[in-house]
Amino acid sequence: MAIENKNFSRRDFFRKSGAVAGSVIFASLLNPFKKVYAVEEPKGKSKWYGIGIDIEKCIGCASCVRACKNENDVPKEPFFFRNWVEQYVITNDGDVKVSSPNGGIDGYKQIVPKEDIYKSFFVPKMCNHCSKSPCTQVCPVGASFETKEGLALVDKSYCIGCGYCVQACPYGCRYINPKEGVVDKCTLCYHRLQKGIDPACMTVCPTGARIFGDLHDKESSIAKFIKENNCVVLKPQLNTGAKLFYNALSQEVH
């Protein structure tokens, strides 16, 4: 009787410790998944960049597209863009026609006659500098990363050019530079921000449709923009934490 009890308790002990050890190992395996999000929003007064675009002010001149290509040495061919402008034409029949000839640089033609047009507007697109960006999540070597101020940047001398981030970006903001073989994308002109000047695209916009700033500073123009307008981000259902806020974004825009 006594011997049976001893065996039972010893077996019991091993079983319990095995379960504990197993769950500890399992939980530690889950550890890499804890930080699936690129970067956590800093608390307090540290900078947290956000971008705002007012669709009601955009006139589709594509000065921003040209300026970005000039400033950042983007190849001038019509296949590679860090930012671009789309024209949406919604006809009375409910047809949605979208066009972006050379990103907007080649100018827009009005193909649909005015009487058939129900709604029409321009939508500038650029990197959303997502806080939970899928592009930084999938980079195998950490060449795509988020700075602590919330900018998604690319380390070109470390990138291996696998193109995983290009596939993972839901907004189509990235491209592989054919001459360099590595990935390129909007950096919010990080080199200009460090010198205290605005990004090139915001400098040249003639109507002030593009603004950016510190989301934590409630007196900044971006914070006021979001407060005074009905702002939304693109593809909110994907939970990318996008920080590019549009005013007056229509549902047809994807």
How far is it, in rounded angstroms, from Cα 153 to Cα 143? Answer: 8
DSSP-assigned states of every residue in the chain: -HHHHHHHHHHHHHHHHHHHHHHHHHHHHHGGGTT-SS-PPPPTTS--EEEEEETTT-----HHHHHHHHHTT---STT--SEEEEEEEEETTS-EEEE-GGGGTT-----S-GGGEEEEEEEEEE----TT-HHHHH-SSS-EEE-TTS-EEE-TTT-----HHHHH-TT---EE-TTT-SEE----SHHHHTTT---HHHHH-TT--EEEEETT-TTSHHHHHHHHS-EE-SSGGG-----EEEES--TT--
In this chain, which stretch among 12-20, 41-49, 181-189, 218-226 interacts with another protein, using CB under 8 A? 181-189
Is residue 223 a contact residue for another protein (CB under 8 A)? no
Is residue 122 a contact residue for another protein (CB under 8 A)? yes
Q: Which of 53, 67, 126, 211 binds another protein (CB under 8 A)?
A: 67
Query: Which two structure tokens, joined as six digits, stand for 150?
Result: 């919330």
Is residue 141 a contact residue for another protein (CB under 8 A)? yes
Q: Which of 176, 226, 233, 249 binds another protein (CB under 8 A)?
A: 176
β-partners of residue 184 are: 175
How far is it, in rounded angstroms, from Cα 131 to Cα 184? Answer: 18
Query: Which two structure tokens, joined as six digits, stand for 244?
Result: 């590019």
Q: Which of 41, 57, 229, 232 binds another protein (CB under 8 A)?
A: 57
Q: Which of 17, 23, 46, 207 binds another protein (CB under 8 A)?
A: 207
Is residue 96 a contact residue for another protein (CB under 8 A)? yes
Report, in Å, the least distance between residue 245 CB and another protein: 19
Report, in Å, the least distance between residue 44 CB and another protein: 18
Considering the complex, state which of residue 153 and residue 215 has its C-beta at the smaller distance from another protein: 153
Q: Which of 4, 33, 44, 228 binds another protein (CB under 8 A)?
A: 33
Q: Which of 98, 217, 218, 230 binds another protein (CB under 8 A)?
A: 98
Q: Which of 190, 223, 226, 249 binds another protein (CB under 8 A)?
A: 190
Considering the complex, state which of residue 13 and residue 178 has its C-beta at the smaller distance from another protein: 178
Considering the complex, state which of residue 143 and residue 222 has its C-beta at the smaller distance from another protein: 143
Report, in Å, the least distance between residue 117 CB and another protein: 5
In this chain, which stretch among 11-19, 178-186, 214-222, 225-233 interacts with another protein, using CB under 8 A? 178-186
Q: Which of 87, 128, 131, 247 binds another protein (CB under 8 A)?
A: 87
